[in-house]
């Protein structure tokens, strides 16, 4: 009788070892190696008989390949269409990740109902809920249609048979960590099961032209659980993020073979489900308080959409030897860098001050154009001087204190004019061949000293 062979596989990176180790040599994580039965490899002759010898596909010259333009499926959700690059591409495999309870299943169930109302056949497969539980959630979301089929199953072979019976245009898998292939002996959620299940769904999407949405859980670090190759196998990776104590959710594309990876969609979680936010700038500024030091509005660009948000800073004397630096919504290291620039180039003594930076509304800003806003808000709080509520700061700050140009300045200023702001402080290098909207004064600055003189009413220091 053949001896059963086992191996130890890291559940984070997929590293394989013949013996157990406490720490994975691949990703350096502790206690991630799990014992799995080794799957016997198919011989070359078996693989050839399985399809290599009988395939009709052969290499073709790329200039002679004929391409058929398949129309994208509109979701009737402009926020989701923007993130996907204009709609759902038939035959695509999309991975949706996010924290537990953030709204991944809610978004996909609402999407399924909207597509079903447009006379498209949808198959919603849940490995975590029964059919009755899915029905209860659909009633709450008013997501019911005769074209929407629900199915509770974790066996990938049974799912493949169900797809052949229903012949849907879109399939939703919730979630990939619950799926299992009978040929693999490891537990659901393991590296081998996630890899094989995703490979089966990818083959199904490409061969049958079905758009497949797959829900993926995330780890404590916020990355998609399972092997990293899971993100390489799919066509698009969407992260659904947001603060648990805020009602706003952001859908962000980090990979998209059919569109831009810089786009975001903004939704608001309501009792009846998710509602798309068409003008996020008004939402993020509706609770703004005027006449308070340390607050400034910045124009951040998310993909092709400019978003105005309020930056808040609180600088107070520290009672510790090492002052605190706390940042929410912006990079902590970037805040420390800008405070060093303020101390060295402007002369502010911040080494004994605690600094707390917050982006109102729970938004995360990761582009350099918000540097000037962060620096001005810190200086405003430190000097206890109020900025004008009709001012907007746009610009990247260099280590020498210069204000560097940013991209798409015209779109940012137009958004400011639409919301009633009267003055925009921008890099001087951005002034050029573009039309300034009526009612807005655009001031170009070369250095951080000059920007502070304009915003806080001080005379710029000449160095």
319 is in an annotated binding site: no
- Residues forming beta bridges with residue 256, ordered by sequence position: 236
222 is in an annotated binding site: no
26 is in an annotated binding site: no
Q: Which of 428, 437, 440, 430 is nearest to 390 (CA)?
A: 440
Angle at 113 between CA 109 and CA 116, to 5 degrees: 135
Q: Is 100 annotated as a binding residue?
A: yes
User: Is residue 328 a contact partner of residue 359, using CB atoms and an 8 Å limit?
Assistant: yes
Phi first, then psi: give them for residue 312, nearest 5 degrees: -120, 135
DSSP output for 294-311: TEEEEEEEETTEEEEEEE
| Token pair listed for 189 | 């959620």
User: What is the DSSP annotation of 130-196?
Assistant: -HHHHHHHHHHHT---TTEEEEE--BHHHHHHHHHHH--SEEEEE-GGG-B-TT--SPTTSHHHHHH
99 labelled binding-site residue: yes
Strand blocks (E) in 228-294: 236-241, 248-256, 264-270, 273-276
- Looking at the DSSP bridge assignments, the partners of residue 123 are 149, 171
Does the annotation place 101 within a ligand binding site? yes
Query: What residues form the annotated binding site?
Result: 98-105
Query: What residues form the annotated binding site for ATP?
Result: 98-105
């Amino acid at each position: 009788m053949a001896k059963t062979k086992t191996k130890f596989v890291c559940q984070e990176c997929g590293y394989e070892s013949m013996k157990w180790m406490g720490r994975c040599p691949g990703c350096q994580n502790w206690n991630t190696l799990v014992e799995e039965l080794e799957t016997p490899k198919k011989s070359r002759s078996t693989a050839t008989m399985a399809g290599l010898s009988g395939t009709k596909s052969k290499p073709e010259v790329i200039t002679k390949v004929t391409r058929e333009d398949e129309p994208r499926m509109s979701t009737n959700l402009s926020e989701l269409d923007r993130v996907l690059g204009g709609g759902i591409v038939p035959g695509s495999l999309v991975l949706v990740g996010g924290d537990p309870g953030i709204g991944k299943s809610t978004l996909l169930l609402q999407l399924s109902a909207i597509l079903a109302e447009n006379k498209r056949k949808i198959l919603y497969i849940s490995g975590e809920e029964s059919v009755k539980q899915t029905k209860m959630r659909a009633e709450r979301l008013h997501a019911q249609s005769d074209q929407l089929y629900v199915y509770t199953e974790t066996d990938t072979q049974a799912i493949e048979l169900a797809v052949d019976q229903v012949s849907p245009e879109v399939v939703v898998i919730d979630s990939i960590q619950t799926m299992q292939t009978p040929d693999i002996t490891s537990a659901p959620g393991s590296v081998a099961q996630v890899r094989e299940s995703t490979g089966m769904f990818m083959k199904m999407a490409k061969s049958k032209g079905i758009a497949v949405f797959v829900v993926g859980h995330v780890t404590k670090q916020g990355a998609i659980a399972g092997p990293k190759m899971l993100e390489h196998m799919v066509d698009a990776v969407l992260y659904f993020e947001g603060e648990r104590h805020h009602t706003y959710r952001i859908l962000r594309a980090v990979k998209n073979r059919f569109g831009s990876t810089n786009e975001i969609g903004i939704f608001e979680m309501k009792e009846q489900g998710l509602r798309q936010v068409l003008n996020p700038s008004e939402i993020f500024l509706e609770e703004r308080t005027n006449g308070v030091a340390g607050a400034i509005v910045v124009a951040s660009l998310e993909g092709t959409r400019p978003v105005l948000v309020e930056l808040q800073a609180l600088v107070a004397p520290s009672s510790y030897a090492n002052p605190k630096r706390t940042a929410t919504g912006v990079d902590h290291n970037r805040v420390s860098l800008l405070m060093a620039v303020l101390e060295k180039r402007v002369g502010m003594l911040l080494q004994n001050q605690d600094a707390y930076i917050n982006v109102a509304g729970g938004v995360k800003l990761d582009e350099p154009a918000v540097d000037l806003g962060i620096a001005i808000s810190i200086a405003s709080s430190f000097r206890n001087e109020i900025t004008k509520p009709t001012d907007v700061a746009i610009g990247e700050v260099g280590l020498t204190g210069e204000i560097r140009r940013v991209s798409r300045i015209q779109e940012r200023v137009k958004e400011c004019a639409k919301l009633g702001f009267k003055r925009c402080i921008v890099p001087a290098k951005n002034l050029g061949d573009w039309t300034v909207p009526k009612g807005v004064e655009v001031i170009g600055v070369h250095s951080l000293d000059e920007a502070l003189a304009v915003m806080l009413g001080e005379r710029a220091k000449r160095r």
